Amino acid sequence: MRILYFYPENPLLKNQGNNARALALLEYFKARAIEVDFVGVYADNFQHEDLSDLKKEHYIKEGYLLKSLSRKKNQLRYFFMYSLPRKIFKKIKEFDRRRFGQEKLFEEIALQKEYDFILISYAYWANLIDKIKEVKPNVKFVIDTHDFLTSQFQHTKDFQLGKYFETEIRLLNKFDEVLVISNEEKYIFSQFLEKPVSIVTHSLKSHFEASKITKKYDIVYVASNNEHNIKAAKWFFSEVYPKLDKNLQIVVVGRVAAFCPDEDNITKIAFVEDLDAIYEVSKMAICPMLSGTGLKIKVVEALSYGLPVVCNERGLDGLLNKTNNGCLMTNNPSQFANYIIQLHQDESFYKKHAQDSKSFFEANHSIEATYSELDSIFTVDQ
C-alpha cells in the first residue's frame, strides 16, 4: 500500500499538539509497513534536512516541500491563475492556505506514482486535490480535519457563521472520508456531510512505570504561545497562582513560558527535545484553557503518564468521557487552586485520580485502541 500524506508543518517539532498527531500517524504507517511519501510546506523550521531525518527514522519513503513561486518572475500567471480567480469568486482567505504555485507542485508530485490513498491535513488545504481527483478516480481521498475551523475563525474580522460553516462543509465534502479527533466534531460534521466521518483520537505509548520515579516538580504545564494559551496562562498566574503555596515547584514548558512570571518556584523551559524527561519527574499536570476547540494533546500526554490533570472546561474538549478520566475540571480560580492543593496533600485523593487517568488512557488513547480504527480506514488486515 502507498499513501501520499500532506501535512504542512514539521512533525518532528514536538512543541505543538498538531505536530504530535501527525507524528503519531507516521508511527502508525511505519508500524503497518505502509509506504508513505510526505509533502510539507517549506519554512525556516522545515527544510530538506528535516525530510532526511524522517527518512532515517523510516517514517517516509520520499519527502517534498512546497515553495511558493516568485510573483515578479510569473506576473501574468500569478494574476490570471491566482489573484483574479480569488477576487472573482470572493473566497474566504482563512479557508485557503495555498500560495502561488503550490497547487501545481503538489499535482506534479501526486501524478508521479500510483497511490492508494491521498491524505490531506486541514480543511484550508482541501483545494490541493481538485485537479488530481479528475485524473485519479481510483484513489481514496481522506482528510484529517485536526479541528473545527469555523469555531477557530469566529473572532476574525467580517466573520459570518453561515458563510464560514458552509465553506468548511463544502471543502470536506470533496473527500471520500473525513477524520476527526473528537465526538463533538463527529456530531457536528456528520449532520451535514455526505461522506463517512470517523473518530481517530490521539494515541500514545503508555508510560505508567514513571509513577515510581522520584518527582522533581509538583506541577507541569506544557503549552505553545497561541492566543488561547497566552490568555489561559495570564488567567492562571493572576487568578490561581497567588492562592498556591510558593513551595510548590512548577515547570512551564513551551513558548507560553515567555508569558509566565519570574518566581523562585517556577522553572521555565521554552523548548525541550524530550518531553518524557519532564513528565516522568512531575506529579500532576495543569491545562488552563478558557477558549479554543478540539482535543488538547497535552492532556492526553499527561494521562499517558498516569498524571492527574487540573483543567478548565475547555480542557475536556475532545475527551470521549467527561468524568472518571483523571481530570479535575473547574472554571473557578479558587476551586482550581483547591484541586491542586488536595492532589498535593491528600495521598488517597491523588491515587484515585491517578488510577482514573491510567484506566481512561488505556481504554481510549492507547496504541491498540487507535490502531484498530485506523486499520479499518486504511483497509489493513491484521
**Residue 65: per-residue pLDDT:** 97
C-alpha cell at 254: 513551551
Distance CA 183, CA 190 (A): 10
Task: Please list the residues that pair with 177 across neighbouring strands.
Answer: 142
In a domain, 85, yes or no: yes
Task: Take residue 278 and report the three cell numbers written for it.
Answer: 519532564
The domain that contains 230 carries what CATH number?
3.40.50.2000
In a domain, 18, yes or no: yes
230/243 same-domain check: yes
- Burial label for 70, CB within 10 Å (0-12, 13-18, 19+), is exposed
Same domain, 261 and 184: no
| pLDDT of 79 above 60 | no
Q: Are strands 217-222 and 140-144 parallel, antiparallel or unpaired?
A: unpaired
DSSP helix/strand/coil, 201:
coil
Q: State the Cα–Cα distance between residues 11 and 14, nearest whole angstrom.
A: 7
> Do the strands 177-180 and 140-144 form a parallel or antiparallel pair, or are they unpaired?
parallel
* Of the listed ranges 71-80, 139-148, 182-191, 371-380, the one predicted with least confidence: 71-80
50: left (phi over 0), alpha (psi -120 to 50) or beta: alpha
* Cβ 373 vs Cβ 179: under 8 Å: no
Q: What average pLDDT does the chain have?
A: 90
pTM: 0.78
Return d(Cα 287, Cα 222) in angstroms, integer: 8
Please state, in angstroms and rounded to a whole number, the distance separating the CA atoms of residues 314 and 152: 13
pLDDT for 263-293, tens place per residue? 999 999 998 888 899 999 999 999 999 987 7
Instruction: Give burial (CB, 10 Å; 0-12/13-18/19+) of 9.
Output: middle
Look at the alpha carbons of 265, 268, 274, 279 in this order and tell me if their dihedral is positive or negative: positive
Q: What is the pLDDT of residue 88?
A: 47
User: Cβ contacts of residue 271 below 8 Å, gap of 6+?
Assistant: 15, 254, 255
pLDDT at residue 16, rounded to an integer: 73
Query: In sequence order, what are the residues at sequence separation of 6 or more whose Cβ sits closer than 8 angstroms to the Cβ of residue 34?
Result: 1, 2, 3, 378, 380
Q: Decide if pLDDT at 297 tops 90.
A: no
Residue 338 lies in a domain: yes
Does residue 116 lie in a domain region? yes
Task: State how far the Cα of 302 lies from the Cα of 280, in Å rounded to an integer.
Answer: 9
Instruction: Express each pLDDT in 128-185 by its tens digit.
Output: 999 999 999 999 999 999 888 888 788 788 888 989 999 999 999 999 999 998 888 9
Distant-in-sequence, close-in-space partners of 136: CB < 8 Å, separation ≥ 6: 110, 111, 115, 118
Q: In this predicted structure, which of 237-241, 307-311, 370-374 has the lowest mean pLDDT?
A: 370-374
More confident residue, 16 or 167: 167
Residue range 250-271, pLDDT digits in tens: 999 999 999 999 999 999 999 8
pLDDT digits (tens, 9 = 90+) for 31-42: 999 999 999 999
User: Are both 68 and 27 inside the same structural domain?
Assistant: yes
112 and 220 in a common domain:
no
CB 288 within 8 A of CB 250: no
Give the pLDDT score at 91.
63
Q: Are residues 142 and 226 in the same domain?
A: no
Q: What ranges make up the beta strands (E) of 42-166?
A: 62-66, 117-121, 140-144
Higher pLDDT among residues 382 and 23, named by residue: 23
Other CB atoms within 10 A of residue 155 CB: 9
- Asked if residue 169 and residue 43 are part of one domain, the reply reads yes
In a domain, 337, yes or no: yes
Range(s) of the domain holding residue 235: 208-364
271 close to 15: Cβ distance less than 8 angstroms:
yes
Please provide the DSSP assignment of 230-259 as one string.
Answer: HHHHHHIIIIIGGGS-TTS-EEEESGGGGG
* Together in a domain, 126 and 105: yes
**% of the chain exceeding 70 in pLDDT:** 93
**Residue-level pLDDT at 80:** 46
Residue 382 lies inside a defined structural domain of this protein: no
Q: Measuring CA to CA, which residue among 267, 280, 353 is closest to residue 310?
A: 353
**Position with higher pLDDT, 92 vs 82:** 92
320 and 349 fall within a common domain:
yes
Indicate the residue type of 216: K
* Same domain flag for 111 and 244: no
Overall number of domains in the chain: 2
Q: For the chain, what is the total number of helices (H) and then of strands (E)?
A: 15, 13
222 occurs within a structural domain:
yes
Instruction: Tell whether 186 and 247 lie within a shared domain.
Output: no
Whether residues 72 and 155 share a domain: the answer is yes
pLDDT at 78 over 50: no
CB 39 within 8 A of CB 4: yes
- 34 & 132 share domain: yes
- Taking the C-alpha atoms of residue 31 and residue 28, their distance in angstroms, rounded to an integer, is 5
Among residues of the chain, what percentage have pLDDT more than 90? 69
